Amino acid sequence: MSSRVARLRPSLEEPLLVTNPANVFYLVGFKSSNAALLVEPDRLQLFADFRYANAAREVEGVEFVETKRALLADLSSRLSGRIGFESAFVTYAGYETLRARGLELVPRPGLVEALRAVKDEQELDAIRRACAITDRVYERLADETFAGRTERDVAWRIDELFHAEGGAAGFEAIVASGPNAAKPHSRATERKIGRGETVIIDAGCIVGGYRSDYTRTFATGPLSDELTEAYGVCLEAQAAALDGIRSGLTGIEADGIARAVVDSTRFKGTFGHGLGHGLGIEVHEAPRMSQESSDTLGPGNVVTVEPGIYLEGVGGIRIEDDVVVRNGGIENLTNLRKDLIEVG
């Protein structure tokens, strides 16, 4: 972990106060909902309250300082001078608390996140293990009966399967059936799944603090011609993106590969979100692939590739893999079939 702090230091113009829990975990391996790091050129302090003190004292390479539970208020009285802070994470109320005693606060967004975007071998190993578990969960899910069950019941079963396979759900699974499948981020509801529908399942697990994130679309019996065609187009769009993504491509260019396929068909305008996002400690992190992205892909990025087609009132399709960006292409961490799986 100390090498990550060493990589961060050259980018600092003043001491950096790290308060995003994901960034604290990335830099020193410490998990807490109420902790902070102060990164200086020759000093690294870890702040946490009594509840986390014993664990914090075990962290190597840091100087631990026990604080009050009101962390930012405590830090405002301990720190002085010019301090960089994570402006994308600190709330306005937190900012006001920090500056109440005269700190000169400098917004420094994205410094740790830029490092996190490039995964090292330790991180890739954790993501690979998360993906292997997710592969097995989806394989078992394909043997389940969906029709007649509620979306929430299927979502609960997904959690059970992750535990059975030695993992834990990394986020609340999306189970969206029928018209709900036309909503990209629909949450599982009490709707009973019918026959002849698509069911979008978006799920992943967490291993060693790192996550997987897959989507597959199932069919509960024969589909309409429109939905069958949409599945084929979505699959073609994903295949084109997987073939074209490589280091040096911008997020806009990567998104455009899949979007061009969808937009060349009668489903133009139905792919409403971006092609994908970075994946690691958090489910959504840098880099992003979308029409509005300002990122450029580089070796070691782990991203999702997830085109979708959404037909309001009818249903939807999404297919999502997790891949590592390489100089000459990608390494696909997902080993799941992509034919349209028909379940009961």
Q: Kindly state the average pLDDT of the residues 28-53.
A: 96
Cβ contact 259:241 at 8 Å: no
Q: What is the pLDDT of residues 151-163, one digit of tens each?
A: 999 999 999 999 9
**pLDDT recorded at residue 21:** 97
Share above pLDDT 90 across residues of the chain, in percent, rounded to a whole number: 98
Q: What gap in Å lies between CA 289 and CA 293, rounded to an integer? A: 6
pLDDT confidence tier of residue 169, bands split at 50, 70 and 90:
very high
DSSP run (H or E) holding 16: strand 16-18
pTM of the model: 0.94
Q: Kindly state the average pLDDT of the residues 11-32.
A: 97
Check pLDDT > 90 for residue 13: yes
Q: What gap in Å lies between CA 5 and CA 282, rounded to an integer? A: 19
Question: In CATH, what number does 2-116 get?
Answer: 3.40.350.10
For residue 174, CA distances in Å to 29, 85, 153, 189, 235 come to: 29, 34, 12, 10, 20
Cβ contact 325:295 at 8 Å: no
Sequence-distant (6+) residues with CB within 8 A of 242 are 305, 321, 323, 330, 332
Mean pLDDT of the chain: 96
Residues linked to residue 216 through DSSP beta bridges, in sequence order: 201
Domain ranges for the chain, please list them: 2-116, 121-342
- Token pair of 335 as six digits: 């080993």
Q: What is the pLDDT of residues 244-286, one digit of tens each?
A: 999 999 999 999 999 999 999 999 999 999 999 999 999 999 9
Share above pLDDT 70 across residues of the chain, in percent, rounded to a whole number: 100
- Token pair of 61 as six digits: 């390479």
Q: What gap in Å lies between CA 197 and CA 195, rounded to an integer? A: 5
Q: What is the pLDDT of residues 182-215, one digit of tens each?
A: 999 899 999 999 999 999 999 999 999 999 999 9
Transcribe 222-287 into DSSP letters.
PPPHHHHHHHHHHHHHHHHHHHH--TT-BHHHHHHHHHHHHHTSTTTT---S-SEEE-SSSSSEEE
pLDDT confidence tier of residue 344, bands split at 50, 70 and 90:
confident
**pLDDT recorded at residue 211:** 97
Q: Kindly state the average pLDDT of the residues 239-243.
A: 98
**pLDDT recorded at residue 185:** 87
Three-state secondary structure call for residue 44: strand
The CATH H-level superfamily of 121-342 is: Creatinase/methionine aminopeptidase superfamily (3.90.230.10)
**pLDDT recorded at residue 1:** 58
Q: Kindly state the average pLDDT of the residues 209-222.
A: 97
Residues linked to residue 310 through DSSP beta bridges, in sequence order: 316
